[in-house]
Structure 1
């Protein structure tokens, strides 16, 4: 069953029409990647899903329409979002940032100890102000803070952007760990190798609409799509 179903989604920034009838779905316990060059509408798709952009069309989560809800209402239903610009609280410590992610009154699948086990570097820096962390550490912190809210599906926008290869590897392991715990992932990613390695399905976007949908094997075999829509 599809946990997230997007049908005929149109999105607008003022008079600018950015998404043109996007259809996309993510199943339970599935990693799905949304690929494409910069500026084609990938980030807008996840922002629209979490209620940050004006839209027309249908977005259903766990079988219920969420179009028109506020971002915090969507998050409370179990949809997590990790934005590209990380949005940590710089003056708070690592631990305080993580505590802010918790949903009150809900027993989470994840504990603070889980976060520190996954990313030991965060444990080392738990009492450090988040603003002085490196880019890679801030990315780990943002991922973990979203997880502390115990989402059923997590949308992650460009998690490996600007990170060292070693940290990129850690992020890939983290995404697989989510899948192993039954959490679905919608990944917006530019690094083709990672997306093809960890995803069950991929979508390719071009000019505000989906131009390809299939398995990583299908995309590897389709040189024409890669050349036209992905390769620089």
Structure 2
């Protein structure tokens, strides 16, 4: 579904991504792991068109490298940024409705479905989104992206700064999305979530992929974990 080959990206003269290769199949959950600053967020931003990419990015067989972000989104690729962009002055319900891409074509994820699945959001449906807790804002951001009916969703650091109980809830939400057949590229630091829900994992270091394998293979590879993941 998504094929990224020899991906490079720059911030000014800084060469951030140095030949990244990743792939995600239909319905597959893949985690991109690594320490802060190695290029994980830049990878998803380059795929989504927020950072100028150099290399090959193909989604459902179509070359999307360098396309505007709105065209990439309309092609079926969803993106949940790490900074939880919501509209604080709009209600939860209004934020969700803004995620719909085609009002004339009912998608898999509807407003009523979202509110049924997530009672926390339902109870605050007519509340300004700016007063939500950090965990509720994260769930709202993910759900708003789902309202656009993506076939693949990239989620960047969804558990950053959240309490352990909320981390578990966000992990359960991601598992529900995967169970519905949506492919997921998860950028995450917490190994517990990534290893629990992923089919495959990539580990990134210094702008390159240094490991690819199953969660069990990563668990068994102490050298990779020590060099590239552990503090």
What TM-score bracket applies, with the shorter chain setting the length? Answer: over 0.9
Shift >6 Å, 4+ stretches = none
Partner of 1:174: 173
Report the Cα offset of residue 106 of structure 1: 2.4
**1:36: how far off?**
0.1
Q: Which moved further from structure 2: 10-19 or 37-46?
A: 10-19
1:13 to 11, 14, 30: 11
Aligned counterparts of 1:92 and 1:108: Cα–Cα separation in 2:
23
Alignment correspondent of 2:226: 227
Moved more, 151-160 or 118-127: 118-127
**Could you tell me how far apart the structure 2 residues matched to 1:136 and 1:170 are?**
9
Structure 1 residue 114: Cα displacement: 1.7
Q: State the match for 2:45 in structure 1.
A: 47
Equivalence for 1:144? 143
1:191 paired residue number: 190
Query: 1:34 — aligned with what?
Result: 32
Q: Give the distance between the partners of 2:72 and 2:124, measured in 1 at CA.
A: 31
1:24-47 CA-partner distances (Å, limit 9, x unpaired): 001110100000000000000000
Give the Cα–Cα distance (whole angstroms) in 2 for the partners of residues 131 and 175 of structure 1: 23
Give 1:117 deviation, angstroms. 2.3
Structure 2 matches for 1:1-232, cutoff 5 A?
3-104=1-102, 105-232=104-231
Partner SS, residue 137 of structure 1: helix
TM-score by length of 1: 0.98
State the TM-score, normalizing by the size of structure 2. Answer: 0.98
Gaps (5+ residues) in structure 1? none
Aligned length in residues: 230
**Superposition deviation, residue 118 in structure 1:** 2.3
Asked if structure 2 preserves the Cα contact closer than 8 Å seen for 1:115 and 1:144, the reply is yes
* Contact 1:88 1:97 (C-alpha < 8 Å) held by counterparts: yes
- Is the Cα contact below 8 Å between 1:13 and 1:54 reproduced in 2? no
Give the Cα separation in 2 of the matches to 1:97 and 1:49. 24
